[in-house]
């Protein structure tokens, strides 16, 4: 089974790649490889740190999505807006450095990463078919 966190982070990196961050997809691969280690960027200003932020957002989005889904299985699947709102709140409360990004850039990164992570999520019925 494909990992929605990895798939979402990779797809978000593809969408967020710009000439200034031309190697973002590669840096996300590095960040995914280092996921779960103690290596954390101090600031989110370069492509390596931005990649780490994308992986962190994808991980948090997947956790929030599963939390919402498990609390109310009768409700329709969580919308990207609902998950993105909770991700923003949890990032604001997290014990991690505040990224020196413009608020619009931060929101775009969060929105894109949440959308791609949820797009990679398996359909709820497919979890029970195996």
Residue 71 pLDDT: 82
Q: pLDDT value at position 63?
A: 93
Q: 127 in a domain, yes or no?
A: no
- How confident is the model at residue 42, as a pLDDT? 46
- Asked whether the CA dihedral 66, 58, 90, 34 is positive or negative, the reply is positive
User: Which pLDDT does position 43 carry in this prediction?
Assistant: 42
Top pLDDT among 107 and 2 is at: 107
| Domain around 98 | 4-121
pLDDT digits (tens, 9 = 90+) for 38-49: 555 444 446 667
Q: How many domains does the chain have?
A: 1
Tens digit of each residue's pLDDT (9 = 90 or more) over 46-99: 666 788 889 999 999 999 999 888 887 655 556 899 999 999 999 888 876 655
Residue 91 lies in a domain: yes
For residues 64 and 94, the answer to whether their CB atoms sit within 8 Å is no
In-domain check, residue 64: yes
Q: Is 24 inside a domain boundary?
A: yes
Instruction: With respect to residue 126, please indicate whether it lies within any of the assigned structural domains.
Output: no
Distance from C-alpha of 85 to C-alpha of 67, rounded to nearest angstrom: 14
> Could you tell me the pLDDT band of residue 122, with boundaries at 50, 70 and 90?
confident
């Amino acid at each position: 089974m494909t990992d929605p966190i990895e798939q979402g982070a990779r797809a978000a990196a593809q969408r967020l790649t710009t000439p200034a961050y031309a190697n973002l997809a590669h840096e996300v691969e590095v960040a995914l490889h280092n996921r779960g280690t103690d290596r954390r960027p101090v600031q989110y200003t370069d492509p390596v740190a931005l990649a780490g932020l994308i992986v962190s957002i994808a991980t948090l989005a997947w956790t929030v999505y599963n939390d919402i889904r498990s609390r109310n299985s009768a409700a329709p699947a969580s919308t990207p807006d609902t998950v993105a709102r909770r991700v923003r709140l949890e990032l604001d409360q997290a014990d991690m450095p505040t990224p020196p990004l413009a608020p619009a850039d931060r929101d775009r990164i969060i929105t894109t990463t949440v959308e791609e992570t949820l797009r990679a999520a398996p359909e709820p019925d497919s979890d029970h078919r195996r």
